[in-house]
A and B are shown apart, each in its own frame.
Chain A
Amino acid sequence: MGGSALIIPGGIDVAKAELWRVLKEHYQDGVEALDDPDLVDQYD
């Protein structure tokens, strides 16, 4: 974040809960979108 701080309304626990809510549903979408052979889960 460089030298500046980002103030998230509600505080860190609220922010973590929101990120957790979203990533439970969409983290794997992010992994698949990376399209990097050294970052994929290999299946064969």
Chain B
Amino acid sequence: MAAPPVVLDDWLLITELLAGLPTRRRHGGLFTTAYWYYRACRAAVVGGAGRLSGPFEQFGLTERGAAIGALLRLREDIGLPDARMAVPLMAELAARHDRLNLLNLEACAAALTLGAVVWLSPESAAGVLPPVLDAEGIRWLVVRPA
């Protein structure tokens, strides 16, 4: 039986792009969501740009932000769900889970669209997403970056 695709949260996406995921679990392809990718790019700049040293020291904050964006550019082998499929599902999910924000709605819709397993970092797994995934019959697991 083929392994299912995987949807990565933002921190696991960053881990994969910068250092490689520590797990050797089989999967049928890596995906993330637009919101997780967006949050990864924004939070990496906000949290990281002012603290970078070494090769970044000669750059101002604007250039560092541009460099971070380039380093986090989504690889061709990491997919995004088709919005034509995901958005109507997000609307359905919002009716069942009326307090869920767009980040979490898209994560659920992506997994349903792709028939995927959601891989969550410990931070994401501590929130409301796991019980919602359970309620929607979506498989998920926690992956701890090295």
Q: A interface vs B, CB < 8 Å? A: 1, 6, 8-10, 12, 14-20, 22-31, 33-34, 37-44
Contact = CB atoms under 8 A, between A and B. Distances in A.
Interface string B6-29: 000011001001110000000000
A18 B14 contact: no
B15 to A, nearest CB: 8
Contacts, number: 114
Interface string B102-142: 11100000000000000000011011110000000000000
Contact of B51 (A26, A38, A44): A26
Contact of A34 (B42, B52, B58, B124): B42
Interface of B: 10-11, 14, 17-19, 35, 38-39, 42-48, 51-56, 58-59, 63, 66-71, 99-104, 123-124, 126-129, 145
